[in-house]
Structures are given as structure tokens and as C-alpha cells.
A and B are shown apart, each in its own frame.
Chain A
Amino acid sequence: MASADDAPILAVRGLTRRFGGVIAVDDCSFALTPHRVWGLIGPNGSGKTTLFNLLSGVLAPNAGQIVFKGQNVAGWPSHRITALGLGRTFQITRLFHGMTVLENMRVAARAADPARVAARADELIEFVGLNALRDEYAGNLSYGQQKLIEFMRILMTEPDVILLDEPFAGVNPVMENKLVDLIHTLLAQGKTFLITDHEMRLVMSLCERVLVLDYGHLIAEGPPAAIQADERVIEAYFGRRRSAAPSPPTPLPGGEGSSSGPLSQGERAGDEGIRGPLSPWERAGGEGASRPPSGSREE
């Protein structure tokens, strides 16, 4: 018998989005069960950010359903989806630069009581150690600090599901560790995450299950170990093998047999999916790597 935790909190059915002749998301279907960290990976241009934009209401789909907490929210404006409990961050931070850190937090607050809003904002700002900057303009913060504040700002909306679009991009290791710790803390509080990032080491260590997009299609879904061994995923990232002779699949980042770093995120997190700090592209080069690692297609 399925437990309550197995009932999906967010289910996508036949989701499609076209831009002119380009089908950015093509008939995607999947379901996210709650209280888990889900990963969404795929080469550049595979449609990850478009999918995030569809889920969060920034874009309306051409077809398909997005069922969140039992309601089809496809085509809803973002603020209604946010009010229902789905929050997101952006690939490139979108803080309100002309407003202070505290104002950025206050503007997102769902609570009406100003005292409660101020207390919650202070609590979150302090949580990421930026209380000294609470009255500073957000535009004056470093990029890593902006990432943290954008994350905290979403928490002011009291979301149940949080979409993180490349949370580790351009973030230094100290901030990276902070973000990972934060995700674990919030996970323990019952939040559900969908994370997309090119930092495979972290994605594989954090996520219990991973979805893989390629050219807008969902080509694989499963636990990190299975994803790393999946031929379709390997092909999506590294291209079709030139040689007809069978050879062992090139391990994906963090896959079996890759070298292990001094203390990887996965080891800290106790996840078997993580193996080492080398990027996939560093280890995958040479034969079979017919698709460039990044930049070949625009998101």
C-alpha cells in the first residue's frame, strides 16, 4: 500500500512548450514525491530552465498539465503558484538591487503581521550569516551572498516545494557548503527540492532521484547510480560512440571508479552517489566525447 509520502506533490503530464519552431519542452511527464531532493540534469539547451519557468508560472505551456497539491496550475500566474507553496530561484540571481537585503525579504513575506515578518526575515538573514548586511543594498552584495539571499527570500514565501536553478554556479566552496547544509536542514523540515545544476558532483550527492532532459524530452529518471550508468544519459552528455566495439561506459561525474576527493559533499551527506571532485568533462574527454560539454545549445 502506498504511503502518504509516496503521493506526488507535483505531477507533470504531457507538458509541452514551443518557441516558434523550437520545442523546448516536449511532452514531459513525471511526478515528484514530497520530502525528497530531486535532481534535474541535461546538457545545455535541454530545456531545464524552460521547465522551471513552466512550473513556476513564468511561462505558460502550450499543452499539458502541472498538478501541484491536487490543482492543475498550468498557465497560472506566478504569484498564485507561489502562494500555493512553490518557490524558485533563478539561474542568474534576480534580487531587487535597489532595495536592501531586509526589504528583499519583506517584499516576499506571506505573513501580514509586520513584527512576525521582521522576526522571520532577521532569522533567515542570520541563518546564512549575513545579518551585518541586512540594511545594505542587495546590489552591493557579492554574487555568492546574493545567491544565499535569493534562497532566503524564497523561504519568506513559505514554500513546500523549492526549485533551485543552478544554485552552485559561480559560488565559492565556502558558500557552496553553506547551501548544501541549508538544503539538508530544510529537507529535514519537510521541504521538497528540485535542483538543476551542471555541478554533477553535488547533484549526484544531494539528490535521491534524478530526472534527465535532452532536447526537451525526459529521457531517464531514477536514483543517481542508475542515472550514471544509463546509456541514454551518457549518450546525451557525451554523444554516440564512434566505435562499434563494445566498451565500458564512460563514467558520469561522480560515477563508479572515479577518483575520490579529500572530503566530497556526498561523503559529508552520507550519500553513496558521490565519488570525487573531478568534473565529468575532465574525465570524459577523448574518444566518444563528440558533444561539447557546454554552450552548444542555448537554454
Chain B
Amino acid sequence: MSAIKLQPPRLALSPRQATLLLAGVLLVCLALPFVASAYVVSLLFLLFMWVALASSWNLLSGYTGYVSFGHAGFFGVGAYAAAILIWRLQWEWWLACLAGGVVCAALGAAIGGPALRLRGPYFAIALLGLSEVGRIVAVVWEPLTRGGLGISLPPTAELLPDYYAMLALAVAATALVYWIANSKIGLRLLAIREDETAAEVVGVPTTRYKLLAFILSAFFPGVAGGLYAWHVSYIDPGAVFAVSISVRTIASAMFGGAGTVFGPVAGALLLNLLAEVLWVRYPFFHPVLFGGLIIVILLVMPGGIVAVLQQRGVLPRSRRL
């Protein structure tokens, strides 16, 4: 009886090397606004937003296998909650954005119980309805949301606070996924993805763990929506409840590797950078090209970048990735 022998990975970093690499990347991100143009800083703001969205989606869907199309709903609710608090109650923008996250976490707690009784496509469709319900409520509830007119916020004078706030959110989402992936919680979430009945039988309170993942996963798009609203100074229902937000989030996470820590980070950065390039180069055809690209990528690499690199022996098989 012998174990399957694997070649040692070509890119195996020691914990110290990995820490240094991450610290270096973080330092570069912190320093970039001082040397880069406003366009680049704004682009990075959006890239970090996609990182936060993809990582938080991964927390639920990558680890438990419950594929959620509800991120656009939480993004929109967070955006509206923050915008209303800033516009009507004159809250500080950062506090309003955090409150947007809390509102979404509470919403997640409220709808998670019934929604997580559903599995597979039924769960996905139920969550798809969240963004549509959110959009309709935002349109109809005019006294609070100004309906289709949208909400205008005071324009931000500086890019740096927004940039650093979104960077912090992306780092926080990734750090949380890393911590969970390397804890017993992460193992139990993975067990749910593998076989929920068997997970229950070995003692995993699956409902509790799924709900926890759902609530945490809802918090980050709420904050991201608030930051986005503050950054662009204007939101309307069609923009922040767009289903395309969910689709791009899912595509980003799957491109990098759902159920891994850094896959969704890499996927969000690469895919959305690519989307930007296509938009700049082909302003009329970029949606078609981007959609086609997503299909091709998912066909060629269904497990994502990290899985391909692990299979080819470039990266080690580790939950830390």
C-alpha cells in the first residue's frame, strides 16, 4: 500500500517567504496612489471592489457549494442603505458604509434560514430574486429612495480615502477567508460542499455553519456597495441591483478558483483588468467579447487558475492557497 507520489511543487514558498511576498504586495498597493494617475487609482478601486465581492462570494459558494446569485442584491441594499444614511441623516461616509454591511448581514440572517433550506438550482434562483426584489423596492419606495431618479451624494473631493477603504475591505475579506479556510470552520464548510448528509452524520451542525457563511458573505458586498455609492456619488436602482454584478462576481471567483483563498483574488484582478482593456479597446463590442471570454475560460479551466497550477505541479496542494 503506497501513497501516490507527487512531484514537489515548483513554486512552494516557505511561510516566511509567503508573508514577505504578501507584505510586499500590500506595500505596493499602499504606495501606488502616490505615483499613479487618478484613472489608475479609480481602476484599482474597482479591482479591489471585485476582489472583496469575489472573496465574500467564495466564502459561501466556494466553500459550501451553495451557488449564490444574490451578491447584486446585497451590493444594492448596502449601496442604498449607505446612501440614505449619508444623504438623509448626514452620517460620516465610512460609518454609513459599515452600516450598509451590517444591514446586509442582518438581511442575510433573516433570509438565510429559509433560503438555505433550498439546494442547487433552487437556491441559486431564489437568491437571483433578491436583486430583482431589491431593484423593485428601490424603484417603488420613492419617499425613501427617490425611485428611478436615484440618489445623488456630495462628490468626493479626494480619491485616497475611498481607495484605502476599498483596499482594506478587500484585504479584510481575503484575510477572513484565509482564517476560515485554515480553521475547523473551513473544514466543516468544505464537508458541507462535499456531502451535506454525511457532514451532518459526522456531527457538523450544517444549518448553523451555512447560516454563518451566508451572513459573513452578505456583509462584504453591503460595505462594497456603500463605498461604491460614495465613490461614484450617484446611484440608481438599475445600476446597483444589476444581475451582471452577481455574474461578474461569480465569474471572477471561478476563474481564479472557487474554494481556494487566493483564487478569487487572482480571478477578480485578472478578469476585471481584462474587462477594462476590452472596454478601452473595443467600446462597442466589449460585452460580447467579455462574455465569450468567460465561456472559453470556464470551459478550458473549470477548476480555475489555482487548480490548474496545482494540477501541473506549479503550486502546492494546500488549503492556504
Q: Which residues of A contact B (CB under 8 A)?
A: 56-58, 77-80, 82-83, 87-88, 90, 94-99, 103, 106-110, 129-130, 132-133, 135-136, 140, 145, 153-154, 156-157
Contacts and interface: CB of A to CB of B under 8 A. Distances in A.
What 9 pairs between A and B have smallest CB-CB spacing? A96-B194, A108-B202, A78-B200, A94-B198, A82-B203, A132-B3, A107-B187, A107-B191, A79-B205
Given A79-B203, A108-B203, A157-B203, A132 B1 contact: yes
Contact of B187 (A56, A58, A103, A130): A103
B142 interface: no
Given A79-B200, A107-B204, A136 B3 contact: yes
Given A99-B187, A106-B184, A77 B202 contact: no
Contacts of A98: 190, 193-194
Given A99-B187, A132-B3, A77 B205 contact: yes
Name the prevailing secondary structure of the A interface residues: loop
20 contacts: A58-B201, A77-B205, A78-B200, A79-B205, A82-B200, A82-B201, A90-B198, A94-B195, A95-B198, A96-B191, A99-B190, A107-B188, A107-B191, A107-B204, A108-B203, A109-B184, A129-B1, A133-B1, A136-B4, A154-B202
Interface string B132-143: 000000000000
Interface of B: 1-4, 184, 187-188, 190-191, 193-195, 197-207
Contacts of A58: 197, 200-201
Contact of A140 (B4, B197, B203, B205): B4
B202 A153 contact: yes
Nearest to A130: B1
A92 to B, nearest CB: 11
A88 B203 CA distance: 11
A94 B1 contact: no
B321 to A, nearest CB: 14
Contacts of B193: 98
A96 B188 CA distance: 11
Contact of B204 (A79, A97, A130): A79
A99 to B, nearest CB: 6
